[in-house]
């Protein structure tokens, strides 16, 4: 047998890519390996372990396997954080035409995130990255993560420090048109 895990994640099925080293793979690539491994563990009966980078001659896990498992755990945490942020600030719907400019709008399903509120469009500036993206922001109730019983300003997440209102748009409008 031969371990070519890297090729599964990278798509490089050349001789250089058909190797067992997964160092340098992105968190998304590591998660694709994790998903693939979970599928096989769930659907197939194991017949043994391949001696090499991840298992020794006794079938015991190596330090390299523990390192990869730790990296996958970290990737799973990053994925969970990203999904939480997506729930807090789902992407806006948008369209552009030369005649009408850019229109951003929010609905209870925008960004593919189903929720009980529509929200209002805002620019989200992510620390450490350039530019901004349009997200839908809750405009009433307590801020994200704050229980409803705690005192709050009933402005949802409108006061979040990384948000900016679109110039020329009503602060509580569910859609915004920017003429460009």
pLDDT in tens, the chain (180 residues): 788 888 988 889 998 889 989 998 999 999 999 999 999 999 999 888 889 999 999 999 999 999 999 999 999 999 888 888 888 999 999 999 999 899 999 999 998 889 999 999 999 998 777 888 999 999 998 888 777 666 778 899 999 999 999 999 999 999 999 886
51-67 per-residue burial string, b: 16 or more CB within 10 A, e: under 16:
eebbbeeeeeeeebeee
pTM of the model: 0.62
* Interatomic CA distance for residues 168 and 180, integer angstroms: 12
- CA–CA dist 31, 76 (Å, integer): 7
CB 12 within 8 A of CB 6: yes
Q: Which one, of 33, 28, 10, lies nearest residue 82 by Cα?
A: 28
Q: Distance (Å, rounded) from C-alpha 144 to C-alpha 159? A: 11
């Amino acid at each position: 047998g031969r371990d070519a895990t890297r090729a599964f994640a990278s798509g490089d099925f050349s001789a250089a890519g058909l190797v067992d080293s997964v160092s340098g793979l992105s968190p998304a690539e590591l998660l694709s390996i994790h998903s693939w491994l979970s599928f096989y563990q769930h659907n197939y009966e194991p017949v043994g372990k391949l001696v090499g980078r991840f298992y020794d001659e006794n079938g015991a896990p190596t330090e390299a396997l523990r390192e990869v498992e730790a990296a996958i755990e970290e990737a799973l945490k990053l994925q969970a954080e990203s999904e939480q942020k997506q729930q807090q600030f789902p992407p806006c719907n948008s369209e552009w035409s030369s005649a009408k400019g850019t229109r951003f709008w929010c609905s209870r399903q925008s960004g593919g995130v189903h929720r009980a509120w529509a929200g209002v469009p805002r620019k989200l500036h992510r620390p450490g990255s350039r530019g901004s993206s349009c997200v839908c922001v809750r405009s009433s109730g307590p801020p994200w993560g704050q229980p409803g019983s705690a005192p709050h300003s009933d402005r949802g997440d409108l006061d979040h420090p990384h948000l900016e209102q679109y110039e020329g748009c009503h602060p509580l409008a569910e859609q915004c048109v920017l003429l460009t």
